[in-house]
Every structure is written in structure tokens, then in C-alpha cells.
Amino acid sequence: MHPMHRRATEYFRALQDRITSRLEEVDGEERFREDHWQREGGGGGRSRVLVEGGVFEKAGVNFSEVFGTMSEEFAKQIPGAGRDFTATGVSLVLHPRNPFVPTVHANFRFLTKGDRAWFGGGADLTPYYPFRDDVIDFHQVWKRVCEAHAPLIDYRQMKENCDRYFYLAHRQEPRGVGGIFFDYLEGDLERLFSFVRDAGDAFLGSYVPIVERRRNLVYNERHRRFQLIRRGRYVEFNLLYDRGTVFGLRTGGRVESILMSLPLNVRWEYDYHPDPGSPEAELYEVYLKPRDWASEPRESAG
């Protein structure tokens, strides 16, 4: 086992504890259900899911540590010699009920295969009715984290990676407003682990203030309908493109934990198009167009 594996595992397990504890405080009504699971072939994990809470309609925060042997076909798609692998990490997706509170995703992981070892992860925001300041604040958090580790870490590259990755090619539209995304970060693992820890520690600060600002805004059925339609795009991405989903399913992971990222409620309407000039159209026309949000001026001070 790679010496970094144990240290990363300890950090990710503790990060799950901190995040779920804080999210329970934010939700105020429900607590996370915890399931321990074992993977046939080696390892297991600890899944925590909160459903029908005061803020979160469905929130999943998963920790896993797995190892074993990949199929010959899948092994060819992953760097490193041979088929033996290890993987440890934490992954989360939070789906609030209020359409004015964005969905968020983050994951941080460490993997090995043969003689290769690398970190991967990131965080991205998926609003339905975006607020300019929320989008800017979210991006600025990740820019600060990355710039604290420059030049080893290149914020602009990670931001562009995120814009490219969270893109529904079949619809030719981004999933949300992005954030940062990185994979196959290898080399100076000690310095890279320092960056990953800072990124993991920054997650709550990137998201909880947005929740607190928007959680009590009044919404109606129109808002809710649009939220459920856009959640359909989220499902499409996770099932068609998401590397974590593919990796988990291809390596015999626990299906319930892998698919915990899917929202509780969703809808698909045939040939949906937002009304011109509507708040729903603004999402497409303004926010689903990648831009350097971290450099934009906020509308309000603070």
C-alpha cells in the first residue's frame, strides 16, 4: 500500500465527519443516516445520506477506501501498469429543496495503480436561479485556495478543466457555473496533499454562506418546476459522463453509494425551452456561459 494512502484515508474520513456535522447544523431538522458497507474484492466505505430535511431535500456525503484488481478492459483506460489499484476519497452532492439555493458537488480522492499515484477532485456549483454574488463568492474561494499553492497549482487551468468537464455534450450546455476540477495530479505528493487538504477544508466556507443567504427566500411552483427540469440535466451528466460514477460501477462499488448523487425528485419535459426574457432564460443566457467569475465585481459589499 502506498504510504500516502493511509494519510489521505485518515484525512478524508475526518473531512466527512466535519462536513456532515456542519450540514446537520445548517439543516436544523434531519440527521444523516449512516451505512457502513464492504466491497467484494477489498475495502468498503461509510455512506451518509440526509433526506427531506429543513434545507436539504437530499444530501449525500460518502467516504470510501477500496482496493483490488480492475478488469482488463477498464485497466487499459487508467494510467499505471498492471490491474491492481487503491482508491480513497470523499464525495458529496447536496440538493436543497429551495430552488434559490444551488446544488453543489465536491470530491477529493487519492488513487494508485501500479507505479502511478495521484490526487483528483474539485468542487462545482449548479444554481437554478443564480445570484451574481453567490457565483462570484464561490469562485473566489477556490481561486484563493489554488493561488496559495501557486505555481504548483494553476487556478486558471483548474477552472477551465471544470468548465470543460461538467459539460453535457449531447445538449451542448454546461451543467452549472463551474468551480475547479483536477485529476491525475502526481509528482510531489507531499505538496499536492497540502493543496488537497486546503481545498477540502475550504468546502464549507464556499457553500454554507450561500445557503444561509438564500434558504428562506419564498418560491412558487414555477420555480420548483424549473428546478426539477434542471435536475434532470444533473442526472444525465452523472449517468453519462461522471468519472466517479463510471469508476465506482466498473470496480464493483456499492451501487446505492455511487448513485447517492442523484436527486430525490426530478422531471423531464419534452422539448423544454424557457420563455424569452424570463429568469429561467437568464440562467442559460448569462450563467451557463463560462467566464472568469472570480475577477468580476460583486453587486454588494462584503
**Nine cell digits for residue 119:** 490526487
Neighbour-count burial of 202, counting CB atoms closer than 10 A to its CB (0-12 exposed, 13-18 middle, 19+ buried) = middle
Q: What is the DSSP letter of 261?
A: G
* 105 noted as active-site residue: yes
- Which residue is listed with cell 494553476? 154
Provide φ and ψ at 178, rounded to 5°: 80, -160
Q: List, edge to edge, every strand of the sheet that includes 43-51.
A: 33-38, 43-51, 56-69, 84-96, 103-113, 116-126, 178-185
Q: Under a CB-based contact definition with an 8 Å cutoff, are residues 279 and 128 in contact?
A: no
Q: Which helix (H) or strand (E) holds 117?
A: strand 116-126
Catalytic residue, chosen from 5, 95, 105, 139, is: 105
d(CA 140, CA 202): 11
Q: Which helix (H) or strand (E) holds 48?
A: strand 43-51
User: Could you list the active site residues?
Assistant: 105
